[in-house]
């Protein structure tokens, strides 16, 4: 009987879902001036343990840079970040006026109404791809 109860406890423990990192609501906004960087926005949901977002890149951009918009003394400026912490279970929002990813030198084939693959790399060796819709500079977010 004890063996059956132990087996049942192990089986039930396996039923609990391991919380994984999730990417939601990602999109890329094209620049208003051709040749300028595009911006990627998204929401990250932290997994079961703390990690850091190391990069967001795309095969359709030369490079991607993590940035944060800050206001100091009435002046707004962007600062490049080496990485961004993603605590376990936390929600990290990348949105206009805050955290974002600058995608430098986009392939000219990237057009509003299409999509672009984004590759998210985390410090825990996880890599996730998300096909993000592309919007024009003045269009609303999808």
Q: What is the DSSP letter of 7?
A: H
pTM: 0.85
Q: What is the pLDDT of residues 112-138, one digit of tens each?
A: 999 999 999 999 999 999 999 999 999
Residue 69, C-beta contacts closer than 8 angstroms, at least 6 positions apart: 76, 77, 78, 97, 98, 99, 100
Which helix (H) or strand (E) element contains residue 9? helix 2-15
CA atoms of 56 and 101, how far apart (whole Å): 7
Lowest model confidence (mean pLDDT) among 8-12, 25-29, 41-45? 8-12
Q: What is the pLDDT of residues 20-34, one digit of tens each?
A: 999 999 999 999 998
pLDDT of residue 124: 96
Average pLDDT over residues 94-101: 96
Angle at 125 (CA atoms; ends 122, 130), nearest 5 degrees: 55
pLDDT of residue 4: 46
């Amino acid at each position: 009987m004890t063996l059956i109860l132990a087996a049942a406890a192990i089986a039930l423990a396996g039923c609990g879902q391991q919380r994984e990192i999730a990417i939601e609501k990602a999109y890329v906004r094209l620049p208003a001036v051709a040749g300028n960087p595009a911006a990627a926005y998204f929401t990250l949901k932290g997994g079961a343990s703390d990690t850091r977002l190391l990069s967001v890149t795309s095969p359709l951009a030369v490079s991607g840079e993590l940035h944060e918009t800050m206001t100091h003394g009435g002046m707004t400026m962007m600062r490049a970040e080496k990485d961004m912490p993603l605590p376990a279970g936390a929600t990290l929002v990348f949105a206009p006026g805050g955290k974002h990813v600058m995608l430098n030198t986009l392939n000219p084939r990237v057009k509003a109404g299409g999509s672009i693959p984004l590759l998210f790399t985390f410090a825990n060796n996880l890599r996730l791809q998300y096909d993000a819709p592309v919007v024009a500079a003045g269009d609303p977010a999808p």
